[in-house]
Structure 1
Amino acid sequence: MTVTYLDPDTVPAPAAAYTHTARVDLGTTAMIFVSGQVALDDDGEVVGEGDMTAQTEHVFAGLEKLLAAHGGTLADIVNIRTFITDMDLRPEHGAVRIKWLAGREHPPTSTLVEVPRLFRPGLLVEVEVVAVVAA
């Protein structure tokens, strides 16, 4: 088993002491663990402050880029964990999530929880995923 850590240059650098992805090679497949992604731009500024739709779009675009760095796509996601700061915004988040994950035979396993706040004021959503790709 080999573990490779990667911070692709297609997304902003991590905002703290963590790595965006860890790839665990398991023979013919690999598991990709993606750290929680939030709506920060290249300068570390919040994207779409107060706008769950804009923030969720930004997060899924980033997830797509991170998985692509490992030869994967959003269709390879097997587990998704979502943290939102206001459960009343769940419909907006859900509409974007459905759009980005459309066309799958089976949706990924999933957890959605409301949290009092995220690490930066103005952030409404954080999403982390696990994907399985061909090695």
Structure 2
Amino acid sequence: MKITLDNPASAPQPLSPYYSQVARVEQADGSALLFLSGQIAEGDTLAEQSRGVFETIEALLKAHGATLADVVNIRTYLTDIGRLAEYGAVRREFLTGTPPTSMTFEVPRLFKEEAQIEVEVVAAVSAGSRPAA
């Protein structure tokens, strides 16, 4: 098993130098699991932040030869669980196939005070799917 930690240049860079955006875990059969750090985004509204989060996740996955269709697990942290439907509407714009396994939590605050949402995902990519050069 080979593990690669990465901050792809083609995606927004982490807010801190103390973590990596992606952990790629290569499996013996050539497939890989991608573990993405929690993502937040700029924006005034929950919808704007949610779109930014999914655009960043999409860029991170693409840098590793994956797409949103490869997401098998998603964890969402909201500062107001009462706004779950707003987030869900944006999420459905990006995750259009069979929904992945999911957990959603309400938290009092996130890494940046103005952040209303943070999302982390795990994706499974088939053999032959390689990181972008």
Q: TM-score, normalization: structure 1?
A: 0.89
Match of 1:37 in 2: 39
5+ residue gaps in structure 2?
Answer: 128-133
Q: Report the aligned-residue RMSD.
A: 0.9
User: Aligned ranges for residues 1-135 of structure 1 at < 5 Å?
Assistant: 1-16=1-16, 17-26=18-27, 27-39=29-41, 47-49=42-44, 51-102=45-96, 104=97, 106-135=98-127
SS of match in other structure, 1:36: coil
Whole-Å Cα distance in 2 between the matches of residues 28 and 107 of structure 1? 25
Whole-Å Cα distance in 1 between the matches of residues 34 and 77 of structure 2? 19
Whole-Å Cα distance in 2 between the matches of residues 120 and 12 of structure 1? 16
Match of 1:44 in 2: none
Whole-Å Cα distance in 2 between the matches of residues 12 and 68 of structure 1? 12
5+ residue gaps in structure 1?
Answer: 40-46
Count of equivalent residues: 125
Q: TM-score, normalization: structure 2?
A: 0.91
**Residue type at the aligned position of 1:74:** L
Percent of residue pairs identical: 48
Deviation at 1:21, TM superposition (A): 0.1
Whole-Å Cα distance in 2 between the matches of residues 90 and 59 of structure 1? 15
